[in-house]
Structure 1
Amino acid sequence: MRHLPPFLLLLASVAAAQAPAPSDPSRGALQVPDDLWVQVLAVPTPARRPLGYTGDEMRNYGGREHLLRSVENLFRDLRTVPRTTGRIADELIRVGQAGSPGEVLQWCWGLTDVSSGRMLEAPKAGEWGLPGIAPDAPREDVLRLLLEVIGPGDQAGAIREFGGFPDGVQRFLLRLAIARRLALPWLSQSIEPPGDDPDGEGVRRSLAAPWTGEENGQSATRDGRCFVWMREVDRAPLAYGAVIFATHLRGALAEFTAWRDAGGRAELAKIGARDWRGLPGMRVLGTTDDEIRGAQPSIVVDLGGKDRWLGRIGVSNGPLDPLSVVIDVGGDDVYDAGEEAFALGCGVFGLGAVVDLEGNDVYTVKSSGLGCAWFGTGLVWDAAGNDVYTVKGEWGQGAAHIGAGVLVDLAGDDRYECAQQSQGMGSTLGCGLLLDLAGNDVYHCRDEGNVSALYLNQSVAMAQGCGFGRRADIGDGRSLAGGWGLLVDAAGDDRYHAQCWSQGCGYLWGIGVLEDHAGNDVYENGKYSLGAGAHYAIGVQVDLSGDDRYNVGIATTKNQFQGHARDGSFGVSIDGDGNDRYALKNMCGGSADLGSLALFWDRRGDDVYECAMEQGLGDPPPLGSATVYPPFRAFRDDLPSVGVFLDTGGRDTYSGDPRGEAGAREGKSWRESRGANSFGVGIDVEWGK
């Protein structure tokens, strides 16, 4: 049997072992100081085994089908988890600000253990990036080569009409056509096409079956095709094809926007009405207000106007039709799939994307859209404007099952609304990312979206940074490990609202991450939220700076949030800077349950902690606590539960801790042990002063 060091001897010399206070405001510097962590572990040197669980210990848990290596390895050391998510968030922000959708997709696919397209670069200025075409080849020669694939026809007419577009538009269209030509051979080879399903309706129905089918109120489906596809699909060409297209897209967008901003707008305005289909797999619309609906070629480009994109558009349709991209250059546009599921940036065995360069846009899908992956890549890339994104149901705004579902918004005050399983949700073999780089944003998961009696008639959101597995041990037995769900917000005064399972939460071998790097933010949530994990999962919530409010005045919160973990899990909640206010209840603020590790850390600021025990639940108090259970006579008896609370700067106020003088206080340390392998640790100290 393994035991942790003697926690009951903890913290006698905390004040005497202080290191310099951190002054670096970067995310990379937001790490618990080594000397302080030694005090948490109550050992004289940091050379001891990390606070975590070994691979052998974690193999005791079931439901591991399709478990990601990138998730499994994080259980070795609790401290590596926020360090890793911080690096990922920083890199996603960097490549997003660089206007590089290809690198964003590389990161997302890489988190699902598929690394492809690394070091791939967009063609340099003056180059085309197409074998057989000289770097300085005239546009007409490039067009002729691309037209060769369509065989005999009115090529002369196509070339003549193409010449009517301004130079900047011509180069833009050619680069998109090259991207299509290079990506298609890879996107089409992921799996053998299912037969007798020309419109893909049967495929789409089978894809969702494991997550929608129920019997006796538990996960169960008699449609097993999706389970077979998970075993047979080759994810690497899906990733590589998407990265190829997105990398060439970066070059095309950069060149086009530079031309547009250098005087090209006037030339665009002269185009007027246009509907050109001269290039293979491409349709080009002019600058009038257009309405586009129904089946479309692989790439549709609209050069301006207030447009309406309606129905199932921007969704790939299996390996025979694996590319569907919508690009809107400007205007306040409406994207509305109506009652059609699988639309508007949805990858089904391929790449489905929506790219919008300007305007205050409104996006609406029923489900499976706005950056949703089902065995592929779903991408929405919005470069500017105050936008509204709505998912009426589930699976959008960065949601993924077997692939990468990505929504990137570069600027503007935006609103995101969903019912459930959206806003950065990663399920089996998936990475769901919502990346917002600027603006004062609202993230709202509706309270009536997925109401559950088990959760006291509150909504089970599984949103806003959620790694979500399929638990079927009490259903059909085909449990599936979760993936990566990330919500990363780089700047702005933001508001997050959801109920249960939200804002950096992990369920069944999944990891959910919410990273907010600037602004005075408001967080509202419930059970298993704000850095919470359950059933061998990881939840991480990090707010780098700003005066933030956590669940203040929210009467519906119950327990088990903000640095909470249960059943072989990690829960991490960190606030880097600012004068913050926390409303905490039972099992919050660094509270571990049933062989888990939980960490809460507020690095600095004058903070207020308001504690209120929820009556009748009988759980441990907040601010550094852990549970204890009667013997299981199994491996769980050997796993420690450790709850850690740290506040390392500022003058803080505590109220409502039921432990009274023995509990949380300014400038003090406290501890508790409810039994063998149950340890609660609390430290409030001016670190470095």
Structure 2
Amino acid sequence: MAEALSAVGFSKADLGFRPKGYWSRFPDPQTVPHKLHFFDSLFAEPLRTYDFTSVMAQAVRDLLSVEKLEAETESLFKLTYFLGIEHKVGGFRGYSANLDPQPAAEAPLLAAVAKVYEAAGSQMRLMVFGKRADWPDPEAEITKQLQGVDPQLEKALATLLLNLVDAYSWRQLALRNVPADALHSVFAMRDFHGHSTDGQSYPHQVDDVTRTLDEQSLYYGAQKAVQAAHDAARALKPLVAADPAKYQTVSIRFSTPLGLVAVGGTGNDSYPDGDYAVLIDLGGDDTYLGSVGATSSLSGPFSIAVDLSGNDTYRCGDEQRLAQGAGVFGAGVLLDLAGDDTYQAKRGAQGYGLFGLGLLADYDGNDKYSLDYSGQGAAYFGIGLNLDGKGDDTYYFYGDGQGFGGPGGVGVLANVEGSDTYTAEPLAEKAGRPDYHSQMKIAVSQAQGCGAGARADGSHGHAWAGGLGVLIDLQGNDHYESGNWSLGTGYWFGTGLLYDGGGDDVYRSVYFTQASGAHFCIGALFDEGGNDQHVLYETGGAGLAFGWDFTVALLVDKGGDDSYEARMISLGCAQIRSNALLVELGGNDTYTMPPGAEGFGAATFLESYAKPSYSYGPYSLYGNSFGLLLDLGGTDRYVDKDFAAGKEQPSTRAADNTTWLRPAKDSPQYGYRSFGVGLDAETGTVPDFRLPGGP
């Protein structure tokens, strides 16, 4: 890396951007709304993006397994912290959710339900004419349903309800200053995926909420809900495993002011749609309809669902119903501990947050996830987490998910074991949202590690910074398919990251993809090993380490015999003052582009760079363009290919064991703080892509 930089007189200190308030026409970096706190530091030190991403990957490696989730009390809490809370909101350091439920020794569930009524400002026991009302009588109803129920099960359920009361108190505190009309308007929003990233519309209620919401209290309550769900799962699983037949016919269902409470036995059960605060199933092949583990209303902000085992089906066909791990002004948590499960929903599901936290954690099994928009680890102004521990899993949806951070959001999809398939429907005729970059044929995916904001510099001026979108897959031979804006891509102060821990992987996408971005953002893709294929098809370009307009783009692939294929402006290509670095460490690799296509380590020259008196965009004079293709080790091929004719030949622009500059040093376009470098060498090291103190 140092050698490549020194070839044009640069050092690592020349990478990245440190915007100043006096840069004309550059959005003031100190006042960009919803910008996440880490962004400026990574924007200034882009090589640290690997460290930043690796910490999250290490948390997944250490904590997201059946063994760890069952054995360690705070494993899920810590995952929620390291993947979401830490990057979204300050004030926490991941110590504990501080639960202290203290269930009553006698009739613990009745006592806990009484606490729920009290917290909601209601009464469980109603009096009229100096005596108990004949009806409703929740005490009698619950007492009847508890006949013959294992006291340990009753205690676990009581403990869960008491913990939810604790979480609810903090959520109420969080909303104390939020205007009611703004609260109701934002809660009803289900169409963020339809809002243009260019800012044609302005839902002002979002800013009204932002100015008045107490985020620390909201996410303290959310962390308590996550810990409460995990504690319940850890308590119930060994209880049922010791004697499954004992719990075969368990059936509990009653209402509370915060939502329904239901418990099903070890048989094959079916649960209708409902506003569940708690839904526990002790085993069997079950069917869940509608809203499960998701905020159902402003008066029912928390929902916890736990399924201990079985091949289950979760299905929600209502576009207006949140489902399967979704939180809005609260938290929705769905834990499925075992079985080959199927998840189907429309919008706002499978790990989705909007001013709240949504978590879907599936511990084990070969699972199938399908969705239209907004989920599978997606958030706008909130946190959405989709965590899968083990199995060969399939993810399919249209857009805004699979690790998507919309404005002010943190969305993460993390998967540990198995050969998995991730698909964001690329065809606009199916998914909608056609992109003009691809002749309106390819969809705007915003998926698989994408952080995207909503710019409004060409309209009403209420721009919102993008969030953090992350996809982490640690093991297996995985297949990634998407359209545009995907696979480690940023937009408008957003950060998109993809981390693959190894395996022979296939990455197929089209435009602004695979370590890319536009307009003041960060996009990175890290692959730790395997024989990988990186393919840009159709109008395939603006990818494989591409930056447009003050973008940091970083693609690092370690080991293996890898192949890269693009149609235009790719493979370490920097445009409009960007840093675009493709680093390939080891293996016999192949790079393919059409003859004359900009890339292979290039920085595109603009006439304005040569005009210091250029009046209306002088911030371009303060930034450096740097495009890099660095390949260390192996026997590599650089190919010029005519894709229409199907003919190829060795490239005349790049070759194994050589160094090249683009623009060339003897070109009149050379200089002007705009440099492209290609360096292919037999040996060398890049310590920047090892964690400090690591091997």
Instruction: State the TM-score, normalizing by the size of structure 2.
Output: 0.83
The percentage of aligned residue pairs carrying the same residue is 28
Shift of 1:486: 0.5
Asked if the contact 2:345–2:370 (Cα under 8 Å) also holds between the matched residues in 1, the reply is yes
For 1:547 and 1:122, locate their aligned partners in 2 and report how far apart those are by CA, in whole Å.
45
* Equivalences for residues 169-248 of structure 1 within 5 A: 169-192=153-176, 195=180, 202-205=185-188, 207-208=189-190, 212-213=194-195, 219-221=199-201, 223-248=203-228
| Aligned counterpart in structure 2 of residue 52 of structure 1, from 3, 10, 16 | 16
For 1:327 and 1:194, locate their aligned partners in 2 and report how far apart those are by CA, in whole Å.
33
For 1:653 and 1:638, locate their aligned partners in 2 and report how far apart those are by CA, in whole Å.
36
Tell me if 1:373 matches 2:353.
yes
Q: 1:188 is paired with a residue of what secondary structure?
A: helix
Asked if the contact 1:211–1:470 (Cα under 8 Å) also holds between the matched residues in 2, the reply is no
Q: 2:347 is paired with a residue of what secondary structure?
A: coil
| Stretch moving more, 272-281 or 514-523 | 272-281
Q: 2:40 is paired with a residue of what secondary structure?
A: helix
- Per-residue CA deviations over 1:414-469 (Å, capped at 9, x if unaligned) read 11111111111001221001111111111001123222234322111111110010
| Aligned counterpart in structure 1 of residue 363 of structure 2, from 383, 386, 397 | 383
- Per-residue CA deviations over 1:583-614 (Å, capped at 9, x if unaligned) read 1333222111111101101111121222224x
Match of 1:18 in 2: none
Asked if the contact 2:290–2:321 (Cα under 8 Å) also holds between the matched residues in 1, the reply is no
Shift of 1:315: 2.4
For 2:45 and 2:217, locate their aligned partners in 1 and report how far apart those are by CA, in whole Å.
33
| Aligned counterpart in structure 2 of residue 645 of structure 1, from 604, 620, 629 | 629
Match of 2:35 in 1: 67
CA RMSD of aligned residues (A): 2.9
Q: 1:220 is paired with a residue of what secondary structure?
A: coil
Tell me if 1:497 matches 2:461.
no
| Aligned counterpart in structure 1 of residue 681 of structure 2, from 670, 682, 685 | 685
Q: 1:368 is paired with a residue of what secondary structure?
A: strand
Check 1:657–1:677 CA distance in 2 against 1; reply closer, same or farther (3 A cut).
farther
One-letter code aligned to 2:679: I
| Aligned counterpart in structure 2 of residue 596 of structure 1, from 575, 578, 581 | 578
Asked if the contact 1:93–1:435 (Cα under 8 Å) also holds between the matched residues in 2, the reply is no
Shift of 1:550: 1.2
Check 1:53–1:44 CA distance in 2 against 1; reply closer, same or farther (3 A cut).
closer
For 1:365 and 1:111, locate their aligned partners in 2 and report how far apart those are by CA, in whole Å.
27
For 1:54 and 1:474, locate their aligned partners in 2 and report how far apart those are by CA, in whole Å.
24
Asked if the contact 1:564–1:591 (Cα under 8 Å) also holds between the matched residues in 2, the reply is yes
For 2:149 and 2:659, locate their aligned partners in 1 and report how far apart those are by CA, in whole Å.
71
Tell me if 1:562 matches 2:544.
yes
Q: 2:381 is paired with a residue of what secondary structure?
A: strand
Asked if the contact 1:102–1:245 (Cα under 8 Å) also holds between the matched residues in 2, the reply is no
| Aligned counterpart in structure 1 of residue 307 of structure 2, from 328, 337, 351 | 328
Tell me if 1:453 matches 2:421.
no
One-letter code aligned to 1:671: L
Instruction: State the TM-score, normalizing by the size of structure 1.
Output: 0.84
Asked if the contact 1:235–1:403 (Cα under 8 Å) also holds between the matched residues in 2, the reply is no
For 1:495 and 1:58, locate their aligned partners in 2 and report how far apart those are by CA, in whole Å.
45
Asked if the contact 1:386–1:412 (Cα under 8 Å) also holds between the matched residues in 2, the reply is yes
Match of 2:79 in 1: 104
Shift of 1:279: 8.3
For 1:210 and 1:121, locate their aligned partners in 2 and report how far apart those are by CA, in whole Å.
31
| Aligned counterpart in structure 2 of residue 462 of structure 1, from 421, 426, 446 | 446
Match of 1:487 in 2: 471
Match of 1:21 in 2: none
* Equivalences for residues 417-428 of structure 1 within 5 A: 417-428=396-407
Match of 1:623 in 2: 600
Q: 2:80 is paired with a residue of what secondary structure?
A: helix
For 1:471 and 1:56, locate their aligned partners in 2 and report how far apart those are by CA, in whole Å.
19
Check 1:511–1:110 CA distance in 2 against 1; reply closer, same or farther (3 A cut).
same
| Stretch moving more, 235-244 or 453-462 | 453-462
| Stretch moving more, 447-456 or 279-288 | 279-288
Check 1:155–1:208 CA distance in 2 against 1; reply closer, same or farther (3 A cut).
closer
| Aligned counterpart in structure 1 of residue 560 of structure 2, from 554, 557, 578 | 578
One-letter code aligned to 2:391: G
Check 1:184–1:84 CA distance in 2 against 1; reply closer, same or farther (3 A cut).
same
Tell me if 1:350 matches 2:340.
no
- Per-residue CA deviations over 1:243-287 (Å, capped at 9, x if unaligned) read 1121233333233334444x343433xx22513439885221223
For 2:435 and 2:579, locate their aligned partners in 1 and report how far apart those are by CA, in whole Å.
27
For 1:231 and 1:196, locate their aligned partners in 2 and report how far apart those are by CA, in whole Å.
14
* Equivalences for residues 25-40 of structure 1 within 5 A: 36-40=1-5
For 1:331 and 1:654, locate their aligned partners in 2 and report how far apart those are by CA, in whole Å.
51
For 1:437 and 1:503, locate their aligned partners in 2 and report how far apart those are by CA, in whole Å.
18
* Equivalences for residues 256-267 of structure 1 within 5 A: 256-261=236-241, 263-267=242-246
Check 1:213–1:586 CA distance in 2 against 1; reply closer, same or farther (3 A cut).
closer
| Aligned counterpart in structure 2 of residue 441 of structure 1, from 409, 420, 430 | 420
| Stretch moving more, 400-409 or 166-175 | 166-175
Match of 1:272 in 2: 249
Check 1:290–1:196 CA distance in 2 against 1; reply closer, same or farther (3 A cut).
farther
One-letter code aligned to 1:120: S
- Per-residue CA deviations over 1:377-409 (Å, capped at 9, x if unaligned) read 1111111211111112x2110110111111111
The unaligned stretches of length 5 or more in structure 1 are 1-35, 124-128
Asked if the contact 2:408–2:464 (Cα under 8 Å) also holds between the matched residues in 1, the reply is no
Q: 2:538 is paired with a residue of what secondary structure?
A: coil
- Per-residue CA deviations over 1:549-571 (Å, capped at 9, x if unaligned) read 111xx641422101111101100
Q: 1:667 is paired with a residue of what secondary structure?
A: coil
For 1:559 and 1:466, locate their aligned partners in 2 and report how far apart those are by CA, in whole Å.
17
Asked if the contact 2:352–2:374 (Cα under 8 Å) also holds between the matched residues in 1, the reply is yes
Check 1:236–1:342 CA distance in 2 against 1; reply closer, same or farther (3 A cut).
farther
Asked if the contact 1:102–1:247 (Cα under 8 Å) also holds between the matched residues in 2, the reply is yes
For 2:620 and 2:9, locate their aligned partners in 1 and report how far apart those are by CA, in whole Å.
28
One-letter code aligned to 1:408: L
For 1:523 and 1:341, locate their aligned partners in 2 and report how far apart those are by CA, in whole Å.
33
For 1:74 and 1:91, locate their aligned partners in 2 and report how far apart those are by CA, in whole Å.
20
Check 1:141–1:410 CA distance in 2 against 1; reply closer, same or farther (3 A cut).
same
Check 1:58–1:109 CA distance in 2 against 1; reply closer, same or farther (3 A cut).
farther
| Stretch moving more, 655-664 or 170-179 | 655-664
Asked if the contact 2:638–2:650 (Cα under 8 Å) also holds between the matched residues in 1, the reply is no
Q: 1:105 is paired with a residue of what secondary structure?
A: helix
Check 1:312–1:512 CA distance in 2 against 1; reply closer, same or farther (3 A cut).
same
Asked if the contact 1:70–1:112 (Cα under 8 Å) also holds between the matched residues in 2, the reply is no
Asked if the contact 1:293–1:313 (Cα under 8 Å) also holds between the matched residues in 2, the reply is no
Tell me if 1:88 matches 2:70.
no
- Alignment: residue pair count: 627
Tell me if 1:537 matches 2:516.
no
Match of 1:409 in 2: 388
Tell me if 1:338 matches 2:322.
no
Check 1:640–1:332 CA distance in 2 against 1; reply closer, same or farther (3 A cut).
same
Q: 1:66 is paired with a residue of what secondary structure?
A: coil
Match of 2:120 in 1: none
Q: 2:156 is paired with a residue of what secondary structure?
A: helix
* Equivalences for residues 1-12 of structure 1 within 5 A: none
For 2:267 and 2:3, locate their aligned partners in 1 and report how far apart those are by CA, in whole Å.
66
For 1:318 and 1:56, locate their aligned partners in 2 and report how far apart those are by CA, in whole Å.
43
Match of 2:375 in 1: 396
Match of 2:6 in 1: 41
Q: 2:49 is paired with a residue of what secondary structure?
A: helix
One-letter code aligned to 1:680: G
